[in-house]
Structure 1
Amino acid sequence: MGKRRRARELALQSLFYVDSTSAPPLEALDLFCQNFPPPKDLAQFFYELAKGVINNQDEIDRLIEQHSNNWKLYRMSAVDLNLMRIAAYEFLFCPDVPRRVSINEAIDIGKRFGTAESGAFINGILDSIHLHLGKEEKAEKKR
């Protein structure tokens, strides 16, 4: 398993913890890292993902909700939602990561940590976001 995959899995676990506690998100992340310190070779990408999702969660959640027909965020499993948050963060803020890679990683991790339906659910929403962002980028280039 690659380093980035392991960093994504650790980011998922940390965000799951952050969601399950009443502490402020960055404090909860710090507490998680005190108990489960990320390995040095994963730390940079892990922190970029975890802190990036936390710091941009409102924007990311709006994007996910716009593309999740008839699904409110509070009804989604925490695993699926946090994987989509990580992928959406990568879409928006990690231009070095191809969107298809982010989608495939989220699907694969979802199959491991989520339910039998997680892969298809995650794929449907992330693919919709990917197509939407692609259209926006094309429109920007035409201007």
Structure 2
Amino acid sequence: MATRTQARESVIGLLYAYDLGNEGIVKFVDEILEDKKIRNKQKEFALDLFNGVIKNLEEIDKEIISHLNQGGIKDTGSVEKSILRLAIYEIIFKGLDKAIVINEAIELAKKLASDSAPKFINGVLDKVKKA
């Protein structure tokens, strides 16, 4: 059985593909999660996260932009952006414990993104946490 971390990792992959212009991926989310063996409660969890981020994408991106020091959201890597979008959705829209969400985002960044990503993600999310 998949863990919540594995479900989040799958959601990040889906958000990454969506960010790269594959908006049609929305039609295949069920099959993709099934292929990754994300089932039952974890599938419901992943679908809720993915659909929630997509539904609130504009507001989430405004939140990210408001906490970027230089450059902009276009200069942020797609994996990093996907991790931030998911974490901000969980903090703002789901009301989950910020420290837990930030820790999970950092761990996912260590696994999925560049070497500098964990520090960057921690910095942005820490600002969200204080807002």
TM-score above 0.5, yes or no? yes
Shift of 1:42: 1.3
Q: Deviations over 1:56-85 (max 9, x none)?
A: 000000000000111311111111111000
Q: Name 1:47's counterpart in structure 2.
A: 47
Secondary structure of 2:87's aligned partner: helix
Give the number of equivalent residue pairs. Answer: 128
Distance change >3 Å, CA 36–CA 90, structure 1 → 2: closer
Secondary structure of 2:52's aligned partner: helix
Amino acid at match of 2:75: R
Secondary structure of 1:116's aligned partner: coil
Q: Give the fraction of aligned pairs with identical amino acids, expressed as a percent.
A: 28
Shift of 1:32: 4.0
Whether the 8 Å contact between 2:33 and 2:39 is mirrored in structure 1 is no
Question: After the TM superposition, which segments of 4 or more aligned residues of structure 1 sit over 4 Å from their partners?
Answer: none
Whether the 8 Å contact between 1:83 and 1:106 is mirrored in structure 2 is yes
Shift of 1:86: 0.4
TM-score by length of 1: 0.82
RMSD of equivalent CA atoms: 1.8
TM-score by length of 2: 0.89
Q: Name 1:138's counterpart in structure 2.
A: none
**2:121 is equivalent to residue 131 of structure 1:** no
Distance change >3 Å, CA 22–CA 43, structure 1 → 2: closer
Q: Which has the bigger relative contact order, CA under 8 A and spacing at least 6?
A: 2
Shift of 1:93: 1.5
Secondary structure of 2:125's aligned partner: helix
Q: Give ranges in structure 1 of 5+ residues lacking alignment.
A: 133-143
